[in-house]
Amino acid sequence: MLSCTLSQFLEDQPLSYSDPTAFAARPDSAVPLTSAAILDLVLSSLDDDKAEDVVQIDLKGKSAMADTMVVASGRSTRQVAAMAQKLMDHLKETFRLTVRVEGKETGDWVLIDTGDVVVHIFRPEVRDFYQLEKMWQDIGRSGG
């Protein structure tokens, strides 16, 4: 039986999120893969899908896990799951970026990890319960 922690497993995984050959296939239409470009696409996709209460939190200097966290709400489990799927499709189509996703099946809280930008899409009740953005904003204010 193999036993390891999640952090040990993730440390052993390659950190490549994109296929470098994908850009060679369509060089004229390829968008450079930068943190800012990913964030722009995330915000645009959420806006197009009528996400509510979109909050952007700068994590630079606060966490090594990502540069930015985006928190948004959808009105129902169906809308949350649909917004997540469309965002994943846009990321793959634009950047050939395969992301890590959790929670899409239930649609209460979907986490999409692009590497540089972490996106949380909640149903409003779940978002109110966890108050994730408040926790991260408070960390920034306290300096730690």
Domains, the chain, with CATH or none: 32-132 (3.30.460.10)
CA atoms within 13 A on the CB side of 104: 15
- Give 15-54 pLDDT, tens digit per residue: 434 444 334 344 444 678 899 999 999 999 999 999 999 9
- Give 44-93 pLDDT, tens digit per residue: 999 999 999 999 999 988 888 899 999 999 999 999 999 999 999 999 99
Q: Can you list the alpha helix ranges (DSSP code H) found in the chain?
A: 6-11, 21-25, 35-48, 77-95, 124-130, 132-142
